[in-house]
Amino acid sequence: MKSLTIRPINTGFVTTVPKEYLYHHSTIAYLKDVPDTRIEMPVFAFLVEGGDGLLLIDTGMAWTERAGRYHHPGSRQPEGMSIIEQLHKIGRKPSDIDIVVFTHMHWDHVYYMDRFTRAVFYANETEYQFALNPIPLYYKSYEHPKLYENAKEKIVRPFEGIPVKTVRGETEIMRGVRVFETPGHSPGHQSVEVDTKDGSYICCGDSIFILDNIKPVPEIAYDLTPPGRYADIVAAWKSIELQKKRAARPDLILPCHEKQLLELVKEKPVLGV
């Protein structure tokens, strides 16, 4: 089999309050220095190279005006950081991409889909159906048209009118690349496992926001630190447990919003080499 590599690509920054979003309220008393104000978090996509085709995991967030106005205040996509521009920097273009796999279909993971004119898009079936018809609580996450009926500008969700292939359970997408279900953050979240020389990396989307989420909280007998934002906390907990067991080492888990990845890619822009 060909040797696969992973190139983490940061597509911008979303803001959030860690004490509310990244850490479950039951853990706060046992953790140190958890910010109670807004911080910036990266939004990574991952380009898998060296296989039967070019495969992209998520397409990242929207431009600054859309992100800050309709989603998390203060979120931004600096010039040159869209997935389109980032691909150009490494000598690629959207039409080079053969496959796009979505961990889930929240707005900051699916932008610029229309630019990937050759790609086959894959999403979990449960996730895709919920994205098309979410409960109102999640209208913003999936940019549901009802939320923007009275907006001055027409808001079209990124996946509107674009064919998406759906999968269930553990599925091989390409040799050396498979998805498996990790619900909890969203109803049909899935993670992507990629075999490399380093081992099998797990691109876990938002099922694990940051690496702190895999750390235990021994004072309350937690074997992990659950997030504060979830659709189903029981499923989210089990999904984190599953990935902790599945990963041979903690450094093989790649959360989309982990700030440590910003430093890692400076030293090692391509993983699995």
CATH 1.10.10.10 fits 5-267, yes or no: no
**Which of 65-69, 74-78, 208-212 has the lowest average pLDDT?**
65-69
Give the three-class secondary structure for 78: coil
Q: What is the chain's percent helix, strand, coil content, to nearest 5?
A: 30, 25, 45
> Could you tell me the pTM of the whole model?
0.96
Given this model, what pLDDT does residue 154 score? 80
Give the pairing type, strands 120-124 and 39-49. unpaired
pLDDT digits (tens, 9 = 90+) for 208-252: 999 999 999 999 999 999 999 999 999 999 999 999 999 999 999
Q: Residue range 149-155: average pLDDT?
A: 79
As a whole number of angstroms, the distance between CA 181 and CA 189 comes to: 6
Q: Residue range 175-202: average pLDDT?
A: 98
Give the pairing type, strands 120-124 and 165-167. parallel
Asked if residues 178 and 168 have their Cβ atoms less than 8 Å apart, the reply is: no
Q: What is the mean pLDDT of the chain?
A: 97
Please state, for a pLDDT cut of 90, what percent of the chain lies above it. 94
Sign of the alpha-carbon torsion through 244, 102, 143, 132: negative
Q: Which amino acid is present at 79? A: E
Give the three-class secondary structure for 153: coil
Helix (H) or strand (E) holding 192: strand 190-196
Given this model, what pLDDT does residue 1 score? 57
Q: Which amino acid is present at 159? A: F
Give the three-class secondary structure for 259: coil
Given this model, what pLDDT does residue 147 score? 84
As a whole number of angstroms, the distance between CA 147 and CA 79 comes to: 28
Q: Residue range 258-267: average pLDDT?
A: 96
Given this model, what pLDDT does residue 149 score? 82
Q: Which amino acid is present at 45? A: A
- Confidence check: pLDDT of 46 > 90: yes
Cα–Cα distance list, 218 to 59, 132, 204, 224 (Å): 37, 40, 24, 9
Stronger pLDDT, 69 or 233, i.e. the higher one:
233
**Which of 150-159, 198-207, 221-230 has the lowest average pLDDT?**
150-159
152: confidence class by pLDDT, cuts 50, 70, 90? confident
